[in-house]
Amino acid sequence: MVESDAAAGGLERKLATILSADVAAYSRLMAKDEERTLQIFRAHKEVFEKLVELHRGRVFNTAGDAILAEFSSAVEAVRCATEIQAALRTRNDQLASERQVNFRIGVNLGDVMVQGADLLGDGVNVAARLQGAAEPGGICISGSVYDQVLNKLSLSFKPLGDLNYKNLPQPVRTFAIAKVAGLGVLPSPARRRQIANGWRPRPFAIAALILITVGGVSWVRSHYERNRAEYAPMPGLPAPQVDQRRIEREARRLARANRRTADAEPLAAPEAGQVKPQPSSVSGATTAGTPGDDSSGVYRGQMCYAAGGATEPAHCFEVQAVVLGNRISGEWPGRDPGVTIYLAGEISRSGEVAIHMHSKRADGSSFAVSDLIGTVHDGRIDANGSCFRDGRGVTLNWSKN
């Protein structure tokens, strides 16, 4: 039996989900102000790479304004793509419209060739072509990705049909992500009408789409790498000092915000294990900490509960959360089967932190609500509060990675 050229040459092949991204109108932005554009691009790229890492992906190639990342899961790749666009939208909202740096993203699941740390082949090329079809700030995915993520994520899709792309022999079934639950609308191109003769798209005008925000506040919620760390009992842990009146004030404010969210019509039914983001009393995204100081990043560290009577010993466990702009979010499994703990918070301009946590059972019921207050400073978040169920003290001490 004759081996293929790839096999004879010792090339390794594998199935992978490829995320391809580049900056729309990058040359125009560079021509207008090279230094400022490069500064903004580098800051955006840092957020991009952190989210790729958070979703267990890896960046395997960069060139100029282009970024290529690999994921073993199509679901995680699409989650990552939506969170990148939402996070960068928040950052761009703080810039003048002519200075905004918008990524276009394409995602494809296909067979690729491995060459050292790099990946090659049609699987990569299709992702790059899908990226070119996406609107600035938008995402296009192939049919192979669509088949994997359908009914697994709270997304709305716009089918664009079977499209021909340059240097690809076969048309590619293409979808744009139009809406993301909790994040709102993403820019998506108008549907391309195909004709039988060669499957070539007719000329069309791309409709201008208006980005909307949920509840009047533009902010990003992130899904995070689920931390499987075991709870480690720590007998003798001292109870934290708690300013109860201050905590209760923050709890009332968060409760009012929750009621406002409950009154709003949801964009789409959330997937199992998801919660809608907690709204904020702050209008729009602001920079955390002192002016000009961006605390965005992945934070990890200890979450500690004081003893709760004879049956609940003091214990600590390792968790992580993500800060993007002035928002904090996190999610991790609880000790009991089917229980997930959710965290959402905000950072004021002065660096004060208000955090709300609750546990949620598989049937959707919530319990063990806690509220904490603290500060973010020099790459650390320190906060304390109490659990409303039994009054136990709760502390967290996290450091930025």
Task: Give the DSSP per-residue string, 259-313.
Answer: HHHHHSPPSSPPPTT--PPPP-SSSS---SSSTT----EEEEEEEEE--BTTTB-
Distance CA 217, CA 285 (A): 8
Residue 56 has pLDDT above 60, yes or no: yes
pLDDT reported for residue 327 = 85
Is pLDDT larger for residue 97 or for residue 191?
97
Both tokens of 361, joined, read 């059972």
Tens of pLDDT, residues 340-379:
888 888 888 888 888 888 888 877 777 777 888 899 988 8
Q: Which residue has the tokens 């996406």?
A: 134
Instruction: Give the 3-state secondary structure of residue 59.
Output: strand
Structure token digits, residue 216: 């009047």
What pLDDT is attached to residue 245? 55
Say what the pLDDT of residue 170 is: 93
pLDDT band at 85 (very low <50, low <70, confident <90, very high): very high
Assign 10 a pLDDT band (cuts: 50, 70, 90): low
Asked if residue 202 has pLDDT above 70, the reply is no
Distance of CA 74 to CAs 56, 80, 92, 170, 186, Å?
11, 10, 27, 22, 19
> Whole-model pTM above 0.85?
no
Distance of CA 3 to the CA centre of its chain: 43
pLDDT of residue 289 exceeding 90, the answer is no
Count Cα atoms within 13 angstroms, Cβ side, for 386: 19
Which residues are CB-contacts of 110 (< 8 A; sequence separation ≥ 6)?
A: 15, 16, 18, 121, 122, 123, 124, 126, 127, 142, 144
> With 90 as the cut, is the pLDDT of residue 159 above it?
yes
- pLDDT for the residue 380: 92
The owner of tokens 């990226």 is: 131
Q: Indicate if the pLDDT at residue 177 is higher than 50.
A: yes
251 to 37, 245, 257, 357, 385: CA distances (angstroms): 41, 10, 10, 10, 10
Within this chain, domains 5-212 and 232-400 share the same CATH topology:
no
Cα distance between residue 137 and residue 130, in whole Å: 13
Which amino acid, 85?
Q
Distances (CA, A) of 392 to 54, 71, 248, 369, 372: 31, 40, 14, 11, 12
Q: CA–CA separation, 371 vs 344, rounded Å? A: 10
Q: 5-212, superfamily in CATH?
A: Nucleotide cyclase, GGDEF domain (3.30.70.1230)
Does residue 126 register a pLDDT over 60? yes
Distance, in Å, from the CA atom of 315 to the CA atom of 302, rounded to the nearest integer, reads 10
Task: Please tell me the predicted confidence (pLDDT) of residue 248.
Answer: 52
Nearest to 46 by CA among 376, 298, 288, 321: 298
**Whole-number Å distance between alpha carbons of 12 and 28:** 39
Domain boundaries, the chain: 5-212, 232-400
Mean pLDDT of the region 82-100: 91
Residue 59 has pLDDT above 70, yes or no: yes
Please provide the CATH number assigned to the domain covering 232-400.
2.40.128.120
The mean pLDDT of the chain is 76
pLDDT on residue 9: 58
Percent of the chain with pLDDT over 90: 42
